[in-house]
Amino acid sequence: MKFLAARRRNPIVATLLLIGALTVVGGGYAAIASIQPANAAITVGSETQVEAGKKLYLEGCSSCHGLAAQGTETGPSLIGVGAAGVAFQVSTGRMPLAAPGAQAPARDRALYTDEETSQMAAYIASLAPGPAIPTAEQYDPTNADAALGGELFRINCSQCHQAAGQGGALTQGKYAPNLMQSRPKTIYMAMLTGPQNMPVFGDATLNSEDKQHIIKYITTLQTLPNPGGLSLGRIGPVTEGVFLVTAVFAVLLAAAVWIGIKSR
Amino acid sequence: MSTPSHVERAGGATATYVDKRMGSNKFLARNLGKVFPDHWSFMLGEIALYSFIVVLLTGVFLTLWFKPSMVEVVYDGSYVPLKGIKMSEAYASAMNISFDIRGGMLLRQMHHWAALIFVAAMAVHMFRVFFTGAFRKPREFNWLIGVALTGLALLAGFSGYSLPDDLLSGTGLQIARGIMQAAPIIGTWMAFLLFGGEFPGTDFISRLYSVHILLIPGLILALVTAHLMLVWTQKHTQFPGPGRTNDNVVGYPLMPIYMAKAGGFFFIVFGVIGLVGGLVTINPIWLFGPFTPDQVSAGSQPDWYIGFLDGALRVMPNWESSFWGITISWNIMIPAMILPGIIFTVLALYPFIESWVTGDTREHNLLDRPRNAPVRTGIGMMAITFYCLLWIGGANDIIAQAFDLSINAITWFLRVALFVFPPIVFIVTKRICLGLQRKDRDKLLHGYESGRVLRLPHGEFIEVHEPLPVKDLAVITSKTDHVPLPEPQATDADGVRNPKFRSQSWRHKLSTFFYADNVTMPSAEEIEAGQHHAAHDAALEAPLHEYEDADELRRLHGGVLHHPGMAETNAEQLAENREH
Amino acid sequence: MTEISSPDHDQQVALGHSPVADVPHKLRATDTDPKMAKRAERQVASMFLLSVLFVVLFVAAYVAIDPSLTIYIPVIGETSAINIALGITFGASVFLIGAGAIQWAKKLMPDVEVVQYRHDQVSPADDTAEAEANYERGKEESGFARFKMIRRTMIAAMVLFPIPLIVLLKDLWVPTPAEEGKSPAEILSTTLWTKGSRIVSDGTYKPIKPEDLPVGGLINAVPADLPEVQEAQGNLNARGKAAIILVRMQPDEIRAQQGDGWDYQGILAYSKICTHVGCPISLYEQRTHHLLCPCHQSTFDLADAGNVVFGPAARRMPQLPIGVDAEGYLVATSDFAEPVGPSFWERG
């Protein structure tokens, strides 16, 4: 005690206390925030998937998508979107939509568990035929060819998602998202269902193998090193120009000033 | 004096050998001690020069491995995601340099970074020359050479980054072809001649290659040589300061100091380029893929220095006229042909326009402080604002994505801002310059505010002003009061009409606008008095023993402190205080 | 208002052209303290020495590091080991030479300012007079002014001799047999598409049946004979004009087309080449039916005859009329009715 008390006016104390306080508050928040949100208790044991899904749907989705999934002014019809459509939107956290806007943004984590998602998917799939949730055999890219995938990616995907999958702007505030965190199953479902303004790439035009090649290319991009150094976002001239006029010129101008000023 | 070393004796013998054949000692005699003024802003042109040398050097290395051919090959190098893919030989060789030649990636990146730095340094150097009025007589030719160099650098950069034939730069070539085609009458023929037929053809990369490695560098080298020779013979300008006049150069001699500093700076620029080439990716062609005319990537932009043209194309409304079987594409001609034409023409002609407006035909070797030429500074800032808005326009989709905005909104904003912002910037800049001039005048008449606050015996607080140091005095008094051109007479005394009345009227109006609002310099006597006053003020250390003389107190402080019944001296005041 | 004097007379407030010596020269630490000077000398020498060390490291890195090796660097991430090693060693070695030279100049070389005098650029009067005199003599001796015929014919020859240089440029474009006799505008106005050209998917080259394309779908497509034409011509020119996109919407969503019945059961075929300056598009928003060009943001409404709704493009996207052939595959029923791609003068 005497040791600490004697040093209580040391200038470093304030800094250490601040760091400590921030750690406690920040860590506490992170711990609390990582707790899964509690959902309304659903008794599943005695109900089928479809019925459970219907219950979840009515609670969380029908206000925008209609009581029979027929669509309203605020949400499109879900008839025919299939299990894959639901699974994509819910598992990426896009649905339920927090607020209307140009586009539904993905969330870091879904608001429904995998079980609940499958139930809702089963319900919507029961209303009308639509794309089914792909099996691992369909979306697993292990044996696919990244080079061929790159070709297909540049033909079909890069005009919206950018050549390196960094995403791109669409009209009126919409966007094609960055693909660097996307997982194979999600990518497959996106291509299959054409969420929001993304076109539908059905299995008749791009079959499972083609889609696997594309997924392989995307996952390759995700783990690809940056052989040139700092990547600057992999989008090319814009960030290179910004880096030039800020960092590079800062160094060169500093050198010029150093040369010019008189030495003491 | 020590005996000369082996090296010195060899050097001396060489100098004599050369002198006997070329008379070089005369040159050395006059120039080894040549004086160069020293200011960091004079090094901006050097950055451009040195980065150009690095571009040339790394470029030579690249030519040893690059193949400028559009023949289709199948890739078989180390970059796995492109293995087995068909591409042009140009792209394949660029990939080879990047992944299979040791140091190749470094050379490519150094070359490209150096090119970006080259153009940026030219721009910043141009700004410095413009804002300090260094383009005035006798340096107008050098300014013209500089404008030409800027244009050539843009062409060099564009042709260079298009050589690897990747998807991004190939899209840029596709756009260039579309622009060419829109030229009236000759457009389609020009496009077919340059590309050897339709786009993309099989000739263009090799044609671009000879332009990029031979024609343009040759022109740039020739112009840079002329540029430097002019600086050498005309001597560099200098900022005003103590001992610096319009007829001398104050600084350091070429040998040894300037050699060391300029030479050292070359290595520093070279080193920075090397470091950035190894640490930061530029132009990742492996991510873009090989070019084909039916593929494109979102977020396609040219290199930064062409961005303003891309932005102009984006914000331009879609005006086109069709009549009598022809089409005039205003939407392409205005942003891609007329606008850059105007920009370069105005840039080139500016020194002549300004000297016509001001009627100033003197030689200027002392630089202007930007604040002393508010209209010129305002015009410069206006131009930079316009350019930057166009530059931002070129990245509107990246900005929309990064900041969650709508590209349509950004485009509309820029369409309006391009015409609204520059005049506002002009007015604000001019006002700031005039404010600074007033501040300078205050400093001359009252000295500078030292930050010391003094309380006088009667309670008044004053801030003590100190006289300006010699350096600042010299700098501030370098400002000259310019006089606008006189108003012309429509007819002379005999009633004969003045044939030049129109142009003289315009000159009078413009030169009045250019000079009129400038704050006039006080006379030499007023400045003397002001500095003396400030010196006196500054001597105020302990108020209690300074104001012995009430008259002095009254005179120096305008009698404010004095009213009947007040203590006349410090001693009286102290006595009063003690009484209360 | 003060009397207006001639513009050559600038009032200059002269406080006397004080020679530089008026500003007392401040000595640096290295000027007064020999220890500091020695320290500066050591600093400069060690910078040069360090530069040499980096050169050695460069060579070692070049020889020893396998080009396929990657290394993790904080902030940068996984990157090429050899590139970063060569860049840092080379950059540092060169930078240190510069830093050493500058430190040497700043700390150890004298920093006393010196003065040199300028002279006006204009030549002395007698030089000008001599030049004029020589010129007059030369002109008189050449007879240029007297021999009108010589002068005029010489000018004609000098002006016209560069013409061969310009004429030589004509064969920058040698028309192929197919292009022979056609103007560029005519060549630009036709594509590979013709009646009965089967539409195939780009990349996979599979023919397309209408049921393969769902509503909201997008296929990037080319004519079936494109691969062999490309092979035969040895270039990508045909692809650059013939690339199209197929989109499908509900038939009642199609508000307008460029010709009656040019769609097939809600499937529309449009050119992919932007009518602004020629970038390929295919950024299709399936809900809004808008086609957005990533280059300059021209936006076309494919449900409304491809008309421009935003951006700098002035003309609508050309539509390709389609139908199905006997085997049920999608085919074009003719070439485009207007030139694809960017505008040109002769377009009309």
Where along chain A do its domains lie? 49-97+106-127, 136-223
Average pLDDT, chain B: 90
Taking the CA atoms of residue B193, residue B196, residue B199 and residue B204 in that order, the dihedral angle to the nearest 10 degrees is -100
Nearest to C225 by CA among C263, C189, C196: C196
User: Region C278-303: what's the mean pLDDT?
Assistant: 95
- Encode pLDDT of B448-485 as tens digits: 888 888 888 888 888 888 888 888 888 888 888 888 88
* B213 touches A: beta carbon within 8 Å: no
Rg (CA), chain A: 25
Q: Residue B248 pairs with which residues in a beta bridge?
A: C117
Q: Do domains A49-97+106-127 and A136-223 have the same CATH topology?
A: yes
Distances (CA, A) of C240 to B205, C13, C182, C196: 17, 69, 19, 20
For residue C140, the distance in angstroms to the closest alpha carbon of chain B comes to 31
Cβ pair C84:A263 closer than 8 A: no
Nearest to A105 by CA among A167, A33, A177, A184: A177
Nearest to B135 by CA among B346, B308, B306: B346
Rounded to whole angstroms, how far apart are CA atoms B359 and B501?
Answer: 16
- Encode pLDDT of B159-217 as tens digits: 999 999 999 999 999 999 999 999 999 999 999 999 999 999 999 999 999 999 999 99
Residue of B nearest to C242 (CA): B294
* C295 touches A: beta carbon within 8 Å: no
Percent of chain A residues topping a pLDDT of 70: 94
What is the pLDDT, as a whole number, of residue B45? 95
- Residue A187 tokens read as 């990518």
pLDDT reading at C24 higher than 80? no
ipTM topping 0.85: yes
pLDDT reading at B547 higher than 60? no
What is the pLDDT, as a whole number, of residue C298? 96
CATH code reported for the domain at A136-223: 1.10.760.10
Percent of chain A residues topping a pLDDT of 90: 53
- Residue C255 tokens read as 């508000």
pLDDT reading at B344 higher than 70? yes
User: Region B305-318: what's the mean pLDDT?
Assistant: 96
What is the pLDDT, as a whole number, of residue B458? 85
Is there a cis peptide before residue B200, judged by omega within 30 degrees of 0? Answer: yes
What is the pLDDT, as a whole number, of residue B576? 66
- Candidates 3.40.50.720, 1.10.760.10, 3.30.930.10, 3.40.50.2300; correct CATH number of A49-97+106-127? 1.10.760.10
- Of B327, B477, B486, Cβ closest to residue C348: B327
DSSP 3-state of B138: coil
Q: In degrees rounded to 5, what are phi and psi of residue B301?
A: -130, 155
Rounded to whole angstroms, how far apart are CA atoms B367 and C182?
Answer: 60
Rounded to whole angstroms, how far apart are CA atoms B176 and B189?
Answer: 14
Q: In degrees rounded to 5, what are phi and psi of residue C235?
A: -150, 180
Q: Which band of pLDDT confidence, cut at 50, 70 and 90, is reported for residue A30?
A: confident
User: Region B34-41: what's the mean pLDDT?
Assistant: 91
* C217 touches A: beta carbon within 8 Å: yes
Rounded to whole angstroms, how far apart are CA atoms B106 and B137?
Answer: 43
Cβ pair A205:C212 closer than 8 A: yes
DSSP string, A8-49: TT-HHHHHHHHHHHHHHHHHHHHHHHTSPPPPPP---TTS-H
Distances (CA, A) of C126 to C118, C119, C120, C138: 19, 16, 15, 18
The sign one gets for the Cα dihedral A58, A61, A64, A68 is: negative
User: Given the structure tokens 């950055």, which residue do they identify?
Assistant: B47
- Encode pLDDT of A159-170 as tens digits: 999 999 999 999
Can you list the pairs that B483-486 forms with residues at least 24 positions away whose Cβ atoms lie under 8 Å? B483/B515, B483/C2, B483/C4, B483/C5, B483/C7, B483/C9, B483/C10, B484/B508, B484/B511, B484/B512, B484/B514, B484/B515, B484/B516, B484/C4, B485/B358, B485/B359, B485/B511, B485/B512, B485/C7, B486/C4
Q: Which band of pLDDT confidence, cut at 50, 70 and 90, is reported for residue C231?
A: very high
pLDDT reading at A33 higher than 70? no
- Integer distance in angstroms from the first to the last C-alpha of chain C? 62
- B172: chain A residues, CB-CB within 8 Å: none
Q: Which chains touch A (3 or more CB pairs under 8 A)?
A: B, C
Q: Residue C11 pairs with which residues in a beta bridge?
A: B481
Q: Which band of pLDDT confidence, cut at 50, 70 and 90, is reported for residue C12?
A: very low
- Residue C223 tokens read as 């004519």
Cβ pair A227:B120 closer than 8 A: no
CATH class of C191-347: mainly beta
Domain B39-172+218-239+248-299 = CATH 3.30.365.10? no
Rounded to whole angstroms, how far apart are CA atoms C248 and C254?
Answer: 10
Q: Which band of pLDDT confidence, cut at 50, 70 and 90, is reported for residue C7?
A: very low
Distances (CA, A) of A199 to A111, A181, C214, C283, C348: 25, 20, 9, 9, 35
Nearest to B521 by CA among B473, B467, B457, B560: B473
Cβ pair C109:B260 closer than 8 A: yes
Cβ pair B527:C68 closer than 8 A: no
What is the pLDDT, as a whole number, of residue B573? 64
- Of C18, C86, C90, Cβ closest to residue B242: C18
User: Given the structure tokens 């002109």, which residue do they identify?
Assistant: C139
For residue B48, the distance in angstroms to the closest alpha carbon of chain C comes to 16
For residue C268, the distance in angstroms to the closest alpha carbon of chain B comes to 18
The sign one gets for the Cα dihedral C257, C260, C263, C269 is: negative
- Encode pLDDT of C185-200 as tens digits: 999 999 999 999 999 9
pLDDT reading at B3 higher than 90? no
Residue of C nearest to B311 (CA): C296
Cβ pair B280:A259 closer than 8 A: no
Residues B463, B449: contact at Cβ < 8 Å? yes
Total CB pairs under 8 A between chain B and C: 361
Angle of helix B307-315 versus helix B374-394 axis, rounded to 10:
70
Residue of A nearest to C203 (CA): A152
pLDDT reading at A75 higher than 90? no
